[in-house]
A and B are shown apart, each in its own frame.
Chain A
Amino acid sequence: MSNAVFLQLLTGLQLGAIYMLIALGLTLIFGTLGVVNFAHGALFMLGAYLGVIIAGETGFLLAILLVPPLLFLIGLLLERGIIQHFYDRPHTDQILVTFGIAIVVQEALKWIFGANNIPFPTPSWGSGVVMLHEYLPFLDGIVVYPQWRLILVVVSLVTVLALFGLLQFTRFGLVVRAGMRDSEILRFLGINIERRFAIVFGLGAGIAGIAGLFGGPVTQVYPGIGMAYLVPSFLVVVIGGMGSVPGAVLAALLLGMALSFSAEYSNIQQIIIYLIAVIVLLVRPRGLLGKKGVLE
């Protein structure tokens, strides 16, 4: 494998990682609560802004400890305050109210911090480059890669595995998965499904916080990034199959690779992910790993 191809693969992985982190929370919330969350990009953006502020004041390590739990809390409050009243309303109403929330968050951030990009420096322990050729003997010559982008990939993988483990191997995950199938029965069994739904929404928001914190130094931080990343992340969810976590991972990788390998043709790169979405949905209307019955 030539160095150029290897670097393109790595870049594809890294581009996919950020979409995957955002799409993960989206698909979790959709699969569990049936809510299409147009405010998810805004939660991602809140994560980035909180990250810049906390990292700037106290250092990045404390931001890692604080930002995801803060976003979890914000998600919990959002669900209890607004979203829970929309479970019995039409899907379009859920889309509309979360769209409203997205506007409020975006405009509030613009008001407080201004419309310009806020520089988000990577912490000193992550701002160097990695000498890839020292670890990978098949590369010839000197091959370096920004350390932070590799950290982003690792963080994404750890988050996916942790979420997968939580859903598959814990009692909480079992109940949530059962709730996705048939929340009525669970209610009859005396299980407080509402509380778990609130926690799932919080979890989705918390993952958006991780995405904002680790992605912020790569994506820039200004009031438009929420919406800018929401649309591709929606496509990741739709291509992967609504509500499917493995599907989201697969689709994010696909789009990341497409973006990376089309980089030489910048005109094509601008629209490649939309083209892929159209093709995939024409061939497989439910997405790559979408299940029958979801959303139909």
Chain B
Amino acid sequence: MSDPGDTNALRGEVLPVAIFAAIALTMPLWFPWIGGYSGLDTKILIFVIFVLGFDLLLGFTGYLSFGHAAFFGTSAYTTGLTLLHFSAEIIPAMLMSVLVTFVLALLIGLLLTKRTGIYFAILTLAFASMLYRAALSIFSDWTGGDNGLTGLPTPVLFGQPLHDTPMFLLVAAFAILGFWIALRIARSPFGLMLRAIKSNQERLAYTGVDVSLYKLWGFIVSGLYGGVAGSLMVIYEPYVATHFLHWTMSGEVVIMAVIGGVGTLIGPMIGAGFMMYFENVASAWIGEQWLLVLGLLFVLIMMYMPGGFMEGGRRLRAWFRHRRGIADAPTPEENDTHG
């Protein structure tokens, strides 16, 4: 698609990935300055991976999933069980988790991707609820039921226990790779198909494209991001909480993506950072009601700024440009229409 040396490729992929990598890798240096504690940076990057996958689905195909916790949680349990019963090495655990997530996404996708948006949202929520219920009842012998999966060994990579910095670097590597792949997808013919599904899937179907196949693959890729995130979560903190499968986990990733700006990839990543920061740091001065404040913010954004923080940024830029004088810039809105 792109020639080597294409400046477009530089602007489109290399530069954003480089900037993100710089921000992510230096996080342990600057994050404590704004009140973040050590370890929260790792968690934020895990959720960055999760929300990138969510945005590939909602932002590109327009399909709203309320059950992404199914992937995060199932993968977390798989990682936990593999660490517990097979080996404390993380590579088999992660491979196993990705495999299980793939099969799960394939099954749910086959059942649901022929559905329209509303059915899809409700049924993904239902599927995730079923898995949550099943983990607490039918599978409680394996999952530890209400207590979650405890007593996991310290995860190791080639025999080296993963702590602080190596752990952070591992997660950061996955986040940077995840962002790069997401950008590649966004700019690929596959990504174009996903966007076409969002704008008008009937018309796409009339041109002879197998729409449901693209939807299915979009759903699977999105789920795999959730699976990687869930697996890393357990490697980071060797414990599987039942709420990894709960609808609140799906809700969190929805909130992150929406307040950041759906469909922009960068926005949801900012949203993930914002929400985790809000939950863990800002809650100290807001108090127990941080989620209430976040909920209000969410409703206000839906009403007045549906493009989230990214739209806010664009509006602010347009406003500054407007103030600088209309005389030297007769068509100031030109560049802003491209999302």
Contact = CB atoms under 8 A, between A and B. Distances in A.
A278 interface: yes
A281 B119 CA distance: 10
Interface of B: 58, 62, 64, 66, 111, 114-119, 121-123, 125-127, 129-130, 133-134, 136-138, 247, 251, 254-255, 258, 288-289, 291-292, 294-296, 298-299, 302-303, 306
Contacts of A17: none
16 contacts: A85-B303, A92-B58, A92-B121, A96-B64, A97-B303, A100-B295, A107-B295, A111-B288, A231-B247, A234-B122, A235-B126, A266-B137, A270-B134, A270-B137, A271-B130, A274-B130
Contact of A99 (B58, B251, B294, B306): B251
Given A235-B126, A277-B126, A271 B295 contact: no
A93 B306 contact: yes
A282 B112 CA distance: 10
A28 interface: no
A36 B302 contact: no
Given A97-B302, A111-B289, A227 B247 contact: yes
Given A100-B299, A242-B118, A274-B133, A92 B64 contact: yes
Contacts of B302: 93, 96-97, 100
A136 B295 CA distance: 52
Contacts of A97: 299, 302-303
A205 B137 CA distance: 33
A-B pairs, 5 with minimum CB distance: A274-B130, A103-B295, A107-B292, A100-B299, A270-B137
A82 to B, nearest CB: 7
Contacts of B66: 95, 99
Secondary structure of the B contact surface, majority rule: helix
Contacts of B288: 111
Given A103-B251, A107-B292, A271-B137, A295 B298 contact: no
B199 to A, nearest CB: 11
A238 interface: yes
Contacts of A190: none
B127 A295 contact: no
Given A231-B125, A238-B126, 6 more contacts: A36-B118, A82-B299, A99-B66, A238-B122, A242-B118, A281-B123
Contacts of A111: 288-289, 292
Given A96-B258, A96-B302, A231-B125, A103 B134 contact: no
B64 A274 contact: no
A135 to B, nearest CB: 37
A89 B66 CA distance: 19
Interface string A225-250: 00100010011011000100000000
B126 A90 contact: no
Contacts of B254: 96, 99
B326 to A, nearest CB: 31
Contact of A104 (B134, B292, B306): B292
Contacts of B292: 103-104, 107-108, 111
Contacts of A89: 306
Interface in A48-68: none
A96 B297 CA distance: 13
B137 to A, nearest CB: 4
A234 B125 contact: yes
A99 B251 CA distance: 9
Contacts of A124: none
B296 A231 contact: no
A270 B138 contact: yes
A264 interface: no
A282 B119 CA distance: 13
B313 to A, nearest CB: 20
B138 A95 contact: no
B95 to A, nearest CB: 28
A91 interface: yes
Nearest to B114: A285
A82 B302 CA distance: 10
Contacts of B133: 270-271, 274
Given A96-B64, A271-B134, A282 B121 contact: no
A2 interface: no
A270 B133 CA distance: 6
A277 B129 CA distance: 12
A24 to B, nearest CB: 16
Interface string A259-296: 00000001110110011011001100100000000011
A162 B165 CA distance: 65
A274 B127 contact: yes
